[in-house]
Amino acid sequence: MTTNWQERVSLKPYNTFGIDVLARYFAQAHDDDEVRQALAEAGARQLPVLVIGGGSNLLLTGDIDALVLHMASRGRRLLCDEGERVVVEAEAGEPWHPFVQWSLEQGLCGLENLSLIPGTVGAAPMQNVGAYGVEIKDVFAGLTALDRQTGELRDFSLEECDFGYRDSLFKREPGRWLILRVRFVLGRSLNAHLDYGPVRQRLAEQGVETVTAKAISAAICSIRREKLPDPAELGNAGSFFKNPVVTGALAERIRAQYPNVVAYPQADGQVKLAAGWLIEQAGWKGHREGDAGVHRLQSLVLVNYGQASGAQLHALAQRIQADILERFGVTLEMEPNLY
pLDDT tens string 214-266? 999 999 999 999 888 988 899 999 899 999 999 999 999 999 999 999 999 99
Please give the positions annotated as active site: 166, 239, 335
Question: Number of structural domains, the chain?
Answer: 3
pLDDT of residue 36: 96
Q: CB of 86 within 8 A of CB of 105?
A: no
Q: Is residue 272 part of a domain?
A: yes
Question: What's the domain range around 327?
Answer: 235-338
> End of a domain among 32, 47, 71?
71
Q: Are residues 140 and 182 in the same domain?
A: yes
| Lowest-confidence segment of 58-62, 80-84, 194-198, 249-253 by average pLDDT | 194-198
Are 221 and 288 part of one and the same domain?
no
Residue 338 confidence (pLDDT): 94
pLDDT value for 195: 87
Residue 164 lies in a domain: yes
Q: Is residue 114 part of a domain?
A: yes
Is the domain of 50 the same as that of 84? no
- Reported as a single tens digit per residue, the pLDDT across 24-64 is 999 999 999 999 999 999 999 999 999 999 999 999 999 99
Cα-trace Rg, the chain: 20
Q: Do 84 and 56 sit in the same domain of this protein?
A: no
| Selection from 154, 140, 121, 136 nearest residue 54 by Cα | 121
Instruction: Extract long-range pairs of 46-52: CB within 8 Å, 24+ residues apart.
Output: 49/148, 49/175, 50/23, 50/339, 51/178, 52/11, 52/14, 52/15
Q: Residue 184 domain-assigned?
A: yes
Q: Residue 233 forms beta bridges with which residues?
A: none
Which of 71, 92, 109 delimits the end of a domain? 71
Residues 151 and 164 in one domain: yes
Q: Both 127 and 258 in a single domain?
A: no
CB 86 within 8 A of CB 187: yes
Measured CA to CA, the distance from residue 169 to residue 159 in angstroms comes to 10
Q: Does 165 share its domain with 248? A: no
Whether 128 maps to a domain, the answer reads yes
Beta-carbon contacts of 174 under 8 Å, excluding residues fewer than 6 positions away, are: 337
The pLDDT tens digits for 233-247 are 999 998 999 999 999
Q: Report how far residue 337's alpha carbon sits from residue 22's, in angstroms, rounded to the nearest whole number.
A: 17
Asked if 133 and 196 count as a contact pair (C-beta separation under 8 A), the reply is yes
Q: How confident is the model at residue 4, as a pLDDT?
A: 87
Is 219 in the same domain as 257?
A: no
pLDDT attached to residue 228: 87
- What letter would DSSP give residue 241? B
Q: Is residue 1 part of a domain?
A: no
CATH code at 199? 3.30.465.10
Angle at 231 between CA 285 and CA 10, to 5 degrees: 120
CATH code, domain with 62 = 3.30.43.10
> Whole-structure pTM over 0.85, yes or no?
yes
Question: Residue 213: pLDDT above 90?
Answer: yes
Mean pLDDT (whole number) for 114-126:
95
My answer on whether 87 and 203 are in the same domain is yes
Q: How many residues does the chain have?
A: 339
Q: What is the pLDDT of the chain when averaged over all its residues?
A: 95
Q: Looking at the domain assignment, is residue 90 inside a domain? A: yes
Q: Indicate the SS3 state at residue 76.
A: strand
Same domain (yes/no): 35, 119: no
> Alpha-carbon distance 127 to 240, whole Å?
13
pLDDT for the residue 1: 52
- At 264, which CATH number? 3.90.78.10
Domain-terminating residue out of 41, 71, 101: 71
A 10 A CB-CB count for 53 gives: 26
3-class DSSP assignment, residue 272 = strand
Q: Are residues 257 and 307 in the same domain?
A: yes
Interval 121-159: pLDDT, tens: 999 999 999 999 999 999 999 999 999 999 999 999 999
Percent of the chain with pLDDT over 70: 99
Mean pLDDT of 198-211: 94
Distance CA 119, CA 57 (A): 8
103 with 202, same domain: the answer is: yes
On whether residue 318 sits in a domain, the answer given is yes
